Amino acid sequence: MSAEDTPKDYSESPISLEYQYTAGSATTRFLNQVREGKLVGQSCPKCKAVYVPPRGSCPRCGVATDIEVPLTDKGCIESFTVVHIPIPGNPIVPPYVCAMIRLDGTNISFLHLIQEVDIEEIRIGMRIQAVWKPKEEWAHSLENIKWFAPIDEPDIDVRTLRFQEL
């Protein structure tokens, strides 16, 4: 390291991009139900796979998924990461757990937070359930679910999480 490598070598260089986000029709229908505290997936008419959040089509079959499937807010951890490093602007204090959540009866997972758990206990297949915000705070957002927390049910067989061939 030379004498020139001093702290003043750094300059603030923030970048921001402003978007107008438009949810498609599938996401709009999904979020309208989330607003009411309900999780509703969509199922493929061909391969029967259930997607949540639905994107309106089946990536395997290439067909529209217009069959709505009401879901429970229970599921299991498909995969997880323990985050130890703080991210600027993120209000969650490390260590915390981000997990891919597989809701019961679905064939795809989504990312959410796990709390109310001893980090040493986290494992793939662990049973969890959504912890919802108070109803008066509900909006068109999956943030209506504060996080998922473990429930007192036996782990699922992780082989059931594997990709199912058609």
Q: Could you give the string, one character per residue 29-58, with x where binding to other proteins holds by CB under 8 A and - elsewhere?
A: x-xx--------------------------
Q: Could you give the string, one character per residue 55-74, with x where binding to other proteins holds by CB under 8 A and - elsewhere?
A: -----------x--------
Stretch that binds other proteins, among 22-30, 46-54, 119-127, 154-162 (CB under 8 A): 22-30
Residue corresponding to tokens 């807010």: 73
Kindly state the smallest distance separating residue 29's Cβ from other proteins, in Å. Answer: 7
Is residue 27 within the footprint of other proteins (CB under 8 A)? yes
**Backbone CA torsion sign across 109, 111, 112, 114:** positive
Q: Are 37 and 131 in contact (CB under 8 A)?
A: no
Hey, what are 25's tokens? 């029709």
Is residue 140 within the footprint of other proteins (CB under 8 A)? yes
Hey, what are 29's tokens? 């229908």
Nearest to 43, CA basis, from 34, 54, 35, 33: 54
What residues make contact with other proteins under the rule CB under 8 A?
Answer: 2, 4-5, 8-25, 27-29, 31-32, 66, 88-89, 140
